[in-house]
A and B are shown apart, each in its own frame.
Chain A
Amino acid sequence: MESFVNRYRNLTILLLVIFAQFLLLAVQVKNDQDVRIIRVWTVTAVTPFARVVELMRGGSIGFLRNYILLHDEDAENRRLRAEVGQLKLQNIFLKNELNTSERAKALGVFQAHTPSRTLAATVIGTGAGSNAKVIYVDAGSTRGVERGMAVVTPDGIVGKVIASYPTASEILLATDADFAAGVISQDGTVRGTLKGQGTPLVKVDYVPIQERVQPGEWFYTSGDDRIFPRGFPVGIVRSVRDGQPFKEILLDAVGLDRGLEDVLIITQGVHQNIPAVPVADQPVYIAPPLPDESRNAAPAAAGAPPITEADKLRQEYQAAGEAEGHKFGSIESGPPNFTGIPTTLPKTPGPAAALPGGAKPAAGAATKTTESTRHSNQANGEPTGSKQR
């Protein structure tokens, strides 16, 4: 027996190792439960390295893009390299700061506006399988992340947390074949189930063929799945076909369109209304540029406290009253004589008539009026100002 084992030692080890793994696999499949401890060990061992790599990438990519590549490309600038070196380094520093702050700002703005409570996290890795549609982020159970939480970006939904480890969390992307979420069309008439396919496009399933869905229509989360709060953008309909027994609707997943670097994990979801206008089609108001005069006047006024025309008028009347010994607010002192104050109203009526002191309206005043009207119109929902999609 001993000689048999010695002779087939390697084969015996192979069979034992394979059998042990089959057993492990069978336990997981049968109980539908994970052997969590092995995953925790591995993720805890690997994610710190991934985080270091991500930090190095974030810090060095700007340097590579803005200095080394350009530096080598432009041979003509070699002569000037010493002179502009300091400026370039400053520029690199500022650009890196800007890149970082822009990413954080976009998330910050979204966080401030969404009623749901969210937690920002950085993507530090993908799943290890060749067809993996999972990612890892640097926020884990120690920061309050739990399995089943929704993950979004300002553009739309990203996926959901399928495992939470102390230092990281695993997120199943919306494009994975195992992903599902309840969705609703923009007009609220069509409900379906979003499913990943393992490709960049996702599909909406279980929509009866008599329902009307048009390409270009938006879908939002319906909140039915108890994972995603209602009202988060999901995608735009790319194609619609009649299948059996349901429609075959394919969407562009807008949350994954622009790549993933930072995401928000919804720790406490609040349902929202479906917006009347798709997010991407909402007009953005761009204010007119500052008038030259006010730009020039700004430095001069920087030292003095800001004063309006009404304040100036008030000061004139107050000075006239004080010169007469009048006490403002007191009943005992008689009415002041303001006839000594020169007339300030212009003869012609119009918007300038409101200006005190006979001052002509500044060049910027007309612009200011227009601007304030625009703001007012914008508040009333009227289309003013330039719009940018």
Chain B
Amino acid sequence: MAYSSGRMLLSRSDGPVSRFRAWVFIVVPLLAILFQVYVPLFFPILSFLEMPLLVVVYLALTQRSQAGGIVTGALIGLAQDSLSKNPLGMFGICKTLVGYFAASVGVHFNVENTAIRLLLSFFFYFFHQFFYWVMQRMLLAQQPAFDYQSWLLFGALNAVVGTSLFHFLDKLRASA
């Protein structure tokens, strides 16, 4: 054990980069979008889950590539935009930023820790919702409610689900 626990949490610049098989980058986002499109139809209570966002966060964190995070976020966000009634780019811009920042965090911190993942999922959900709200007001001249209490609650729930999801997605990593 060369590192103290504190260093394990904070530094991973010399750690291995997670590698996935190519199909993971297509199938996992597609499943996340399908989940978002299909599951709330029969279980409206699950509509608070932002599966595409959680997938963007995970892929960006584990890839440790800011450019990769940007592209992943932009593509998944635009796909989500295409299936919503809003103009293209709303989710795209939010998720691009989330992908970039998540990848930046992944470069500098060890994100294998469950507590860190929980915190990051919560933070990025809140960031995503807040930025989306700002864009709705500034770019679309809409007047959505600033429902920060719901964002906090749903952020916590998304964080819990996200942590479990990340654990599952870890198993899809290619063995070196």
Contacts and interface: CB of A to CB of B under 8 A. Distances in A.
Interface of A: 9-10, 13-14, 17-18, 21-22, 24-25, 28-29, 34-35, 38-39, 41-43, 46, 49-50, 53-54, 57, 123-130, 132, 134-136, 162, 170, 172, 176, 178, 260
Interface stretch (B3-11, B81-89, B168-176): B81-89
B140 interface: yes
Nearest to B32: A128
A132 B85 contact: yes
Contacts of A125: 34, 37-38, 41, 83
A46 B29 CA distance: 11
Contacts of B100: 10, 14
Contacts of A172: 85
Given A29-B139, A128-B36, A123 B41 contact: yes
Contacts of A10: 66-67, 70, 100
23 contacts: A14-B100, A17-B70, A17-B71, A17-B96, A21-B93, A25-B89, A25-B93, A29-B140, A38-B78, A41-B82, A42-B79, A43-B83, A46-B37, A50-B34, A50-B38, A125-B38, A126-B41, A127-B85, A128-B36, A128-B37, A128-B81, A128-B82, A134-B84
Interface centre among B34, B37, B92, B140 (most CB of A within 10 A): B37
A128 B96 contact: no
Contacts of B140: 29
Contacts of B70: 10, 13-14, 17
A162 B84 CA distance: 11
Nearest to B93: A21
A34 B52 CA distance: 22
B111 interface: no
Interface centre among B70, B82, B88 (most CB of A within 10 A): B82
B139 A43 contact: no
Interface residue range, chain B = 35 or more
B30 interface: yes
B139 A42 contact: no
A324 to B, nearest CB: 78
A34 B87 contact: yes
